[in-house]
Each structure stands twice: as C-alpha cells, then as structure tokens.
Amino acid sequence: MAPRDTSLPEPSGPVPPAAGRGRAAPPLDPADHERLLSGAHHDPHALLGAHPVPGGIAFRALRPFADAVSVVIDGGRTPLVSEGGGLFSAVLPLAAIPAYTLVVAYGQDEYEVHDPYRFLPALGELDLHLIREGRHEQLWQALGAEPMTHQGVSGTRFTVWAPNARGVRVAGDFSQWDGTAFPMRSLGAAGVWELFLPGIGEGALYKFEITSQYGGRFLKADPMARRTQVPPDTASVVTAAHHEWGDAEWMAHRGDVPVHEAPFSVYEVHLPSWRPGLTYRELAEQLPAYAKEMGFTHVELMPVAEHPFGPSWGYQVTSYYAPTARLGTPDDFRYFVDACHRAGIGVIMDWVPAHFPKDDWALARFDGDPLYEPGNAQRAEHPDWGTYEFDFARTEVRNFLVANAVYWCEEFHIDGLRVDAVASMLYLDYSRDSGQWTPNVHGGREDLDAVAFLQEMNATVYRRAPGVVTIAEESTAWGGVTAPTDAGGLGFGLKWNMGWMHDSLQYMTKEPVHRRYHHHEMTFAMVYAYSENYVLPISHDEVVHGKRSLVSKMPGDWWQRRANHRAYLGYMWAHPGKQLLFMGQEFAQGAEFSEEHGPEWWLLGDGHCAAGDHRGVQDLVRDLNRLYRATPALWQRDTRPEGFRWVVVDAADDNVYAFLRYDAEGAPLLAVSNFSPVVRHGYRLDVPGDVTAWCEVLNTDAARYGGSDVTNPDPVKPEDGRVLLTLPPLATVWLTPYPS
C-alpha cells in the first residue's frame, strides 16, 4: 500500500464531496520543476500553494504517492490535475486567494489537511537579524522545531541554519522519512530555512534532508533539537516544556553570596550509572536526598547533553540542546533539577564546547561543507579525540554555543557550567607538532577567537542568569582565567586547580618513608593559590584508565590505605579552594570508575565483611561537609591571602603540615596533617596568642571512621605561644578555639 500522509489527524467530519473541476494550471518552468522535485529549490512557496494567475487562482500541491488531491473551498471540493512526480494543480476562477484545505487520497483512504504552502514565514525579521549578527541569545526560540499556533492553525515551525545548502526538506515519521513533500524556503542572507507544518505536534520524529551545493543528499538530525530518540536511534523529536517549577525561592536567593565567599562542596556524578537503570524522575527521589544527607552543597553532572556513544561519558556531544533521552524526557530532567533545588542542592553540569564527533548524521559537515567546524582541515581536526573543533571565528557558531550555555541556565535552571577542555581551546598548538598549526595575527600560539568566545559566553551567562557560576577545566598557567572580562580575563567564576590535584596525589602515592623527598609537592600550590579562584578536584579523570581509585592509589596495607585516604580528604577540605569529589570516593571503593556498573554500593551493605571500613570513610566525608559548612574560616576567605597562614611548612622529615584558616572576623581553624604512620606525641606548634585553648573538632583517625582512635580528647592550652599536640598516624586533625 502507498505511504499515507499523516501530517494532520483525520478530520472530525466527512470529507467534502467533489464540486467540479478546474482547468489546468500553467506548467512550471522546467528548471524550477527539476529543482523542486530534487530538493534543491530555495523558494518552494513561490511554486506551491495558491497564487494569482491570469483567469483566476492557481493551486499546486506536492504530494508524492498520492492517487488524487483536491482543494476544498467553502465546503466544495475541486480535484487537482496530476502533473506527474507527485505534483497536482488546477486554476479556479476566483478573484482572490480563499481560505482552503486539501483532500489527499491514497487508494480508498482520504485525508483533509492544511496546505503548508499557504502560510507566511513563522520567523520574524528581528530573529533573522540577530542570527545574522550572531547575537541571538535565545537562539533555541528561533531555530529548531517549535510547536505553535500560526495563522490560527496549530502545527510546528521547522527552522534550520544551513547557508551552504542548495535545498532543505523536512522528513519524518509523518512522511515515511521521505522529504519530497516538504521542501523548506530560504529566508535570505541569514542562511536560515523555514517551513511551518500544520498538524505536526509534540512527539513527532524528524530530520532535515539536505541537498548540498555538490548535489549530494543526506539526512541530518536537528542541531537545535531539544529532544532526541534514545540512542542508537538518531532522529530529533518535536517537544515543548510543560514542567511547573517549584524552586522559586532557590532561584531568588542562589546568588545572594558570591560563590568564592560561600561554602562550595561538590559531589561529581555520572548520572546514568550513579544508580544504573534509574530514570531522571527516579534519580530525583534518591540523589538530592543522598547529596543533602552527605552534606554536599552541589552535584556536578558529567555531560547530560545527548551523545551517541555511552562510554564517552557524554563528552562527545551530538545534540547540544537535548538532555540525553536514555533517562527520560526534557521535562523529566527539569523535574530532577527542581527536586535538587527543593532539597537545597545546586546543580552544575559539564559542558563541552571544545569539540564534537564526526557522526555523519549530526553536526559534521552539516550542509555538505564545513559549517560548525573550521574549513581548514588541519585546524578542524582535534588531534587527541578524533573529533572536530568548533569554528570559534564564525559568529553563528559562537552564537550557537553562547546561546546553548544560556539555554541550560534559563530552561533547566542549571546553577553552574563546568567547561570541559578549556586548555585545548586556548592554544593553537595544543597537542600539535611544529608545522601542524598556524600562529595568530600576532605570531603567537593563543587562539584569539576561542578567547573571545569564552569571554562572550561568560559575560552573557553572568548577565542573563544571576547566581550561576562558570568553572574552567583549564590545566595550564594561562593568566586571568577567573579575572573579569572587562579586565581582559576569561571571566570564569572558578577554575579547577589541576596543579594541586596532580602534585598532592603524587605525594600521597609515595610510601611515607619517601615522602620527605616530595614534601614541596603538598606546599607548592600555596605559591599560586590566590592567582585564581580555585576548585580542588578529585574528579572522574583521576579514577579511570589505570589511574586507580583514590584509596587504591595509597600505599600500604588496607588499614594504611584507608588512613591515607581519610587524612588526604581532611587535608583537602581544610585547604584553600572549593572541594569536588567523584562518586564512589566518598566511601573508598577500591575499583576504578565503570560507566556500566557505577559506584560499588554493595561495599556498604551488611553482608560485606569490610562494610564498616567503607561506612567509616563515608561518615568522615559527611562530617567533613557538616563542619566545613558550619566553619566560615574554611570558605569565606578562600581567595584572599589573609585567610591563610602556615604554621608548619618545612617539617619534611616528619611528614607534617599545619596551617591556620581565618574567617572574615578573624576566627581561626587549625588544621594539622601527619602523613607518617607513627604517632607523634607532644608535637609543638606555634599558634595565635589570643586563643586560650584549642578543641579538637575533627580527627580522621577516630574509631568511628575506622582509625586507631589516637585523639586529643581534652582542650589544649598554649604555653608561650605554642601548643603540644598528639598527632595520630596517617591522619588530619582540625582544632578550633575552645569556647571560653
């Protein structure tokens, strides 16, 4: 049976009877005829639909596979004459173009439909102007598939940017994936193609059928799709937002305190595997509650934008505007974010503007030519990941990405964007040998277009989304990453401290007897600690690909590894900078991260012989977060040198570090770490003279955490400006002034 036109639901009443027959319409110009049927015409609306001609109004419809097409006016039906190739036409003796519909017949089945080619463009001149200028900050409202009512008829407006295409058509499940019936019109210099399809609504599957300037024809997913099929299927899905938000209070107050002066403790999560098999809505019932119970202020989600290859963990994105369909719909993801906010948990998401994969149905060579990627093949290729880099020099591409950052913040209430692989964007010679890159106009290696893009993105996000923070994963010494854009900086709010992460982990992997030779690796970060606003990240990157989990990096037997793990976390939480810990490390799982299995929750179960050991580490992280949030000295002056003072910095032979943190009022916290496996009794420390006694508020060697319970149970009083402490083995202790 012939494919059926399902672009409109079946009419509620009977199909109008035939009323007569019009005369044949003037034939199309042969060139127009060929271009129209081959999908290479820039203005199909000039040929299809209703148009005045000598002697009346000509009606022409393109309905492949139809047996007959009629035009219906005032309840009367007039058959159109077949011209071949799916074209039907007739001239009716009318003085003006009337309101009309079409009846399309496939065998014995007939359907009454609106003619897409009787509608004016559904995209305004201002939208086109902003797209052309690269300044449309809500681009998702202009491009893509937008369900709407247009000229009194419900349907979907399809728009796509494809400036190099000879023609573009819409294909979908409503046309049996044949785009012949629905060619789009070019809207001029902006490179945008548009078509309003009446009767198409939410849930419809679609792609764009593009004819390149070289004559090739191929289907592409919508770059602006706000919903997709579940991979490995690749169609875009028409959608609209219906979620009613319940986080007004959170949104109103999330920016009350600047992030660098507020507690910021982040739990990094790979959402599909945190609890494998759960949907967004099921995760909403569990993850916010867990993060809150553990004391974290935020969760950071590894990329949730749609990606075809699961083991990429989301870092090779094909649909930048669509939350992955693996876990549910866009509204389901909104529900998840809303639940986090109502639990008092902020949501950060990883965002990947540095590169995109080469899948032939997605962004790569989108309209037959390089479009989102640079035209220079050498520049377009990302040498590390076999992907394409974005063309940051092109205004429309920058607009696509800047608007995407805004989109997640405005449409999904995201509280922060952690921007992936910033270093790979900033340097023209990143992972490239001599001769594989071209210097900038000043002869340097900096990618000035990428710099301008990052500045524009940050400035736009901070202007449009108060309270949002942007975070750079930037691994070099580039200056001014977190400096304001108006001062020449990149404009990020925070930067991952990759140097601290690398150096401190290097130190911790050494046997204690060798740590004296690496003592500076734990202190060097304070040389540059106030050059940027830092996050201290123990992220997924540090527990994969043979790097081992955090506890497995530690030397010694099982007890020593856990003790090292706990001591390190205590040191980390006290150190200047915000905290980030990847899932599974909060309870010391021994295995590396696996996207198939997720965290090893069974380690905490009653049936596991070492469950108490893992629960002890989990209890420590909970207490670290609780004390951290309750102690302004640990976060209020994170970015100011006066908030920190070394007490012991050079005790390499002892493997001991001690420092003071101060809040805005000068109230101190003393943190002491002993990274040797011996107890140090009567360890002498110089302390402020105005503190009459110190009280131990945290000890990572406490028995409840799985330690040996060497503690300082009583207040410690200074003598001659010094205190004598008992330092437990492989442990960190925190002390605060004893209440007088």
- The residues carrying an active-site annotation are 420, 473
Q: 501 by DSSP, 3-state: which? A: helix
Give phi and psi for 101, each to the nearest 5. Answer: -130, 175
Contact by Cβ (8 Å): 291, 347 = no
For residue 273, report the phi and psi dihedrals to the nearest 5 degrees: -115, 0
HSE toward the beta carbon, residue 176, CA cutoff 13 A? 11
Between CA 117 and CA 114 the distance in angstroms is: 9
Alpha helices of 60-165 — where are they, by DSSP H?
Answer: 125-133
CA 423, chain centre distance (Å):
18
Please tell me the distance from the alpha carbon of residue 187 to that of residue 487, in angstroms, as a whole number. 39
List Cα–Cα distances, 314 to 193, 303, 543, in angstroms: 30, 5, 17
CA angle centred on 89, ends 88 and 93, rounded to 5°: 155
Measured CA to CA in angstroms, residue 612 lies from 35, 294, 591 at distances of: 73, 17, 17
Give the up-direction half-sphere exposure of residue 739: CA atoms within 13 A in the CB hemisphere. Answer: 1
List own/partner pairs for 117-121 with CB under 8 A and 24 or more apart: 117/44, 117/45, 117/48, 117/49, 117/61, 118/49, 118/50, 119/150, 119/151, 119/153, 119/196, 119/198, 120/151, 121/185, 121/187, 121/194, 121/196
The span from the first CA to the last CA of the chain, in angstroms, equals 90
CA dist 639 and 477 (Å) reads 17
Instruction: State the angle between helix axes of 395-411 and 448-464 in degrees (0 to 180), rounded to the nearest 10.
Output: 30
Block residue for tokens 């463009």: 121
